[in-house]
Amino acid sequence: GAGVSQSPSNKVTEKGKDVELRCDPISGHTALYWYRQRLGQGLEFLIYFQGNSAPDKSGLPSDRFSAERTGESVSTLTIQRTQQEDSAVYLCASSLGTARNNEQFFGPGTRLTVL
Amino acid sequence: GEDVEQSLFLSVREGDSSVINCTYTDSSSTYLYWYKQEPGAGLQLLTYIFSNMDMKQDQRLTVLLNKKDKHLSLRIADTQTGDSAIYFCADLTGGGNKLTFGTGTQLKVEL
């Protein structure tokens, strides 16, 4: 594929349920990022994967949030026991290497609504 | 932590210049970016500037950086209706691995 893809594009869930969001980065991109964008706000960094290094999880807002990445491909962001404040657009980005020298390409996002 | 601030809204007439401003707090920022977000679309990188530069020009876009005041601006010359979007500034923090975004400036171009 030409760009970063994310699925589902929209997810509506009930409070307390778990959700999984998927990101397919651009092939060959070693770095992958997850961000959260609440309505009317900028993006908040959540987590960063780079190759085989330990991920930078410093942006995860609580232990209900976790993410995994299989090698240098697909990543899933899991939110357990969802709360209404988790409602947001979750954006994934990938880059060839570290952000310092490489542009981050963003996917279209997954809009999560927690009822 | 790092804080990036932008004004929320800007309205200009078609053909005029637009200037979108941004301030940041991290003095160790190395790269600063401008992203464009159109309705229903992902973020698109418009341009970036390295922190040792004062200005960068790319066609209709001019980026000015005042590192002393930690102020970044994006000037769009001859603004068109297709420029209507939300513009985010962002800087590279956290050892160079993560972007800190401003809240975004909604640019509205009127005929």
**CA–CA distance, A43 with B107 (Å, rounded to integer):** 18
Q: Which residues of A touch B (CB under 8 A)?
A: 3-4, 33, 35, 40-45, 48, 50, 56, 58-59, 91, 93, 98-100, 103-109
What would the two tokens of residue B60 be?
A: 């209709």
Average pLDDT over residues A63-83: 94
Contact A98 B42 (CB under 8 A): no
Count of alpha carbons within 13 Å of B104, Cβ hemisphere only? 20
Contact B97 A106 (CB under 8 A): no
pLDDT at B41 over 90: no
Contact A108 B104 (CB under 8 A): no
In a mutagenesis test of the B interface, which of A30, A106, A110, A111 is the best target, namely the one with the most B β-carbons within 10 Å? Answer: A106
If DSSP codes are grouped into helix, strand and coil, which group holds residue B10? strand
- CA of A16 to nearest chain B CA: how many angstroms apart? 28
**CA–CA distance, A93 with A30 (Å, rounded to integer):** 11
**CA–CA distance, A42 with A45 (Å, rounded to integer):** 10
Per-residue model confidence (pLDDT) at position A87: 97
Tell me which of B41 and B6 has the higher pLDDT. Answer: B6
Contact B42 A40 (CB under 8 A): no
Average pLDDT over residues A34-47: 90
Chain A with chain B: Cβ pairs closer than 8 A: 62
Cβ atoms of A23 and A67 within 8 Å: the answer is no
What would the two tokens of residue B94 be?
A: 């956290």
Average pLDDT over residues A32-55: 90
**CA–CA distance, B93 with A83 (Å, rounded to integer):** 29
**CA–CA distance, A106 with A45 (Å, rounded to integer):** 13
Per-residue model confidence (pLDDT) at position A1: 52
DSSP B35-75: EEE-TTS-EEEEEEEETT-SEEEETTEEEEEETTTTEEEEE
- CA of B47 to nearest chain A CA: how many angstroms apart? 10
Q: Are strands B18-24 and B71-76 parallel, antiparallel or unpaired?
A: antiparallel
pLDDT at A78 over 60: yes
- Nearest C-alpha neighbor of A21 from the set A71, A88, A84: A88
Per-residue model confidence (pLDDT) at position B3: 85
Per-residue model confidence (pLDDT) at position A100: 64
DSSP class of residue B28 equals T
Per-residue model confidence (pLDDT) at position A101: 64
Arithmetic mean of pLDDT over chain B: 90
